[in-house]
Amino acid sequence: MRSTRPSRLSKKPLLLSEALQQEVIVKQSYDAFLVLDIEATCWKGTDFSFPNEIIEFPVCLMRWKDKTSDLKASQLEVIAEFRSFVRPTWQPILSDFCTELTGITQEQVDEAPPFSTVLASFEKFMVKHGLIHGDTGERLVRFCWCSDGPFDIRDFVVKQCFISKIKMPSWMQGHILDVRTVVLDWLYSQELPEQASRTVRDRPRRRTLNIPAQLKALGLPAFEGRQHSGIDDSRNLSRIVAELAQKNVALHPNTAVYPNRRWQWMGKHGQILEGYWTVKDMSNAVSWQKL
């Protein structure tokens, strides 16, 4: 009698949803992510070579919900936040342009601690969440700093450590994850799958994407909160990082940071030299002072 068992070749094709469920999940070598979006002093016409001072230091700490013993994971969540305003010391009076851009008021920075105190408070935050050793500052887990572009740690933190006359903490040194570059890499791979292995730097120059544009490119809801508020930028950037993980993007550092980097305006022992930076409108700035 002829067998009625279904042939192995006649299996019903997988539905799209079933295929997605069977998609291979990538390995993630980092256990935690510190998503940071700094706000700093600015005047109309200043750029990233200006001696900016940090005025808001917000961080979202993200960890995996589903990481397996073989390092595979795809679900990230924010488990804690840190936020502090910071009192500038070289130019303590905020420009109207800066307040309009960031929403940070003069009263908020006047009442805030200086950067060295904020950094000490954040170090306690990291100890509390098991990221570093309380006595030595040694990393206890593999964590990665994330920012929108390379500027936050590569430029703002390095400059602020010089101005504050403090050494950049070891737990802040090392390469960072530039989220904007990762989004562009992913977007490019969707447009030209055959060239997915090429990085952004290998391709023809293309328009960059701010945070709202990155959210749109990934198919996420619009920006939540106020743009250029450090904490709101950090929260929205965390949404982007989580979505990249969901899309099976391996998250790892891609940008170098040099703690000993120097700008022309840097003198000795935290001095900011005149004549090495230009500003179009600095009408409400105070005279330069030795720190």
| CA–CA gap between residue 128 and residue 223 (Å, rounded) | 30
| CA–CA gap between residue 195 and residue 203 (Å, rounded) | 10
CA 145 to chain centre: 6
Q: Is 228 a catalytic residue?
A: yes
**Beta-sheet strands, E only, within the chain:** 32-36, 39-40, 54-64, 76-85, 143-147, 177-178
Which run of H or of E encompasses 188?
Answer: helix 179-191
Alpha-carbon dihedral 66, 69, 72, 73, rounded to 10 degrees? 20
What does the buried/exposed string (b/e) look like for 9-39 if buried means 16 or more CB atoms within 10 Å of the residue's CB?
Answer: eeeeeeeeeeeeeeeeebebebbbbbbbbbb
Q: Is 77 a catalytic residue?
A: no
Cβ neighbors of 117 (< 8 A, separation 6 or more) are: none
Catalytic residue among 39, 53, 56, 243: 39
| 3-class state of residue 76 by DSSP | strand
Which run of H or of E encompasses 181?
Answer: helix 179-191
| CA–CA gap between residue 188 and residue 192 (Å, rounded) | 6
Q: Which residue has the tokens 């910071």?
A: 86
Catalytic residue among 175, 191, 228, 274: 228
The residues annotated with a catalytic role in the active site are 39, 228
